[in-house]
């Protein structure tokens, strides 16, 4: 879980036990735990752009087909960026659509919130860059805390494969935070066209690659040939470019990407 909102981050930390770097907690989740799979129902599960990208590796769908079948779309409050959330099954139990007899059918590419649990992760921008706070989410039904396995926040996140997720999610939240502040400073907010282009760059890398090829937009940017090729043929690289391009096109921030002729 990540958030660009300072007050929201603090509320999470006030409501849950914060873990310091290196501090241990006990937890394990496996079919032998009596509550196994119970946490996969009635979820308010935000899907970050990287979550959606990885999930599509399991479903093999286009970005549009994936969003139509598995996601609900909304606008991020106070920012206007499009945001996806997992559409739970239309049953009384509201199970996750990827839950199969208590097991996860997309485990290798499961979303970051599922990987992070039972921890929560709040981030915000600070003078030294992204400040990370980690807290424990102790739900009454969860028996995983009775298991003997010990973890620190760092070892848990490494074990759960969160490094690329956290890196991409931090970029997403930094973009959202910057856009919120940009709106406060300038009174300018995303137009419907900008919202549509943001959704294309963030959640539709396959379509964005086709747009970039047809528009030759990258010809107007200071980029190496190697990066152009990566953006057009690798969705991870395309998402990374999407963050850079939105910072530049929506706010004029050129720390990561510059128009040609603007120098260093």
Q: pLDDT tens track of the chain, all 264 residues?
A: 444 445 555 565 566 788 887 789 999 999 999 999 888 998 999 999 999 999 999 999 999 999 999 999 999 999 999 999 999 999 998 999 999 877 899 999 999 999 999 999 887 766 666 778 899 999 889 999 999 999 999 999 999 999 999 999 999 999 999 999 999 999 999 999 999 999 999 999 999 999 999 999 999 999 999 999 999 999 999 999 999 999 999 999 999 999 998 755
Q: What is the pLDDT at residue 3?
A: 46
Residues 6+ positions from 114 with CB-CB distance below 8 Å: 45, 104
CA distances from 74 to 82, 84, 92, 263 (A): 6, 6, 23, 38
Q: From the centroid of its chain, how far is CA 151?
A: 23
Pairs from 223-229 (Cβ < 8 Å, separation ≥ 24): 223/257
Task: Centre a 10 Å sphere on the Cβ of residue 191 and count the other Cβ atoms it contains.
Answer: 11
Which stretches of the chain are assigned E, i.e. beta strand? 17-19, 25-26, 46-47, 71-75, 82-86, 99-100, 103-104, 119-126, 129-136, 150-151
174 φ, ψ to 5°? -65, -40
Q: What is the pLDDT at residue 129?
A: 66
Chain position carrying tokens 């989410």: 137
Dist CA 176 CA 75 (whole Å): 11
Q: What is the pLDDT at residue 102?
A: 74
CA distances from 121 to 53, 77, 134, 144, 231 (A): 20, 19, 5, 19, 29
Under 8 Å between Cβ of 58 and 108? yes
Under 8 Å between Cβ of 85 and 93? no
Q: What is the pLDDT at residue 89?
A: 95
Q: Which residues make beta-bridge pairs with 72? A: 85
Task: Centre a 10 Å sphere on the Cβ of residue 152 and count the other Cβ atoms it contains.
Answer: 16
Q: What pTM does this model have?
A: 0.91
Under 8 Å between Cβ of 249 and 219? no
Task: Centre a 10 Å sphere on the Cβ of residue 250 and count the other Cβ atoms it contains.
Answer: 21
């Amino acid at each position: 879980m990540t958030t660009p909102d300072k007050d929201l981050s603090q509320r999470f930390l006030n409501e849950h036990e914060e873990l310091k770097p290196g501090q241990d907690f006990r937890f394990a989740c496996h079919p032998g735990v009596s509550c196994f799979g119970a946490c996969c129902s009635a979820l308010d599960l935000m899907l970050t752009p990287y979550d959606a990208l990885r999930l599509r590796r399991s479903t093999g769908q286009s970005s549009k087909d994936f969003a139509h079948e598995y996601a609900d779309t909304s606008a991020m409050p106070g920012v206007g960026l499009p945001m996806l959330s997992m559409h739970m099954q239309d049953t009384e139990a509201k199970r996750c659509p990827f839950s199969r007899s208590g097991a996860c059918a997309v485990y290798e590419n499961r979303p970051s919130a599922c990987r992070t649990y039972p921890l929560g992760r709040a981030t915000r921008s600070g003078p030294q860059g992204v400040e990370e706070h980690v807290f424990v989410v102790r739900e009454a039904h969860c028996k995983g805390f009775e298991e003997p396995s010990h973890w620190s926040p760092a070892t848990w996140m490494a074990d759960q494969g969160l490094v690329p997720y956290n890196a991409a999610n931090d970029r997403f939240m930094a973009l959202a935070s910057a856009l919120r502040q940009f709106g406060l400073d300038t009174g300018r907010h995303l137009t419907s066209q900008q919202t549509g282009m943001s959704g294309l760059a963030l959640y539709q890398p396959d379509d964005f690659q086709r747009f970039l090829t047809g528009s030759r937009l990258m010809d107007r940017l200071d980029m190496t040939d190697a990066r152009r090729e990566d953006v057009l043929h690798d969705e991870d690289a395309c998402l990374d470019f999407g963050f850079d391009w939105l910072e530049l096109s929506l706010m004029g921030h050129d720390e990561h990407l510059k128009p040609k002729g603007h120098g260093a």
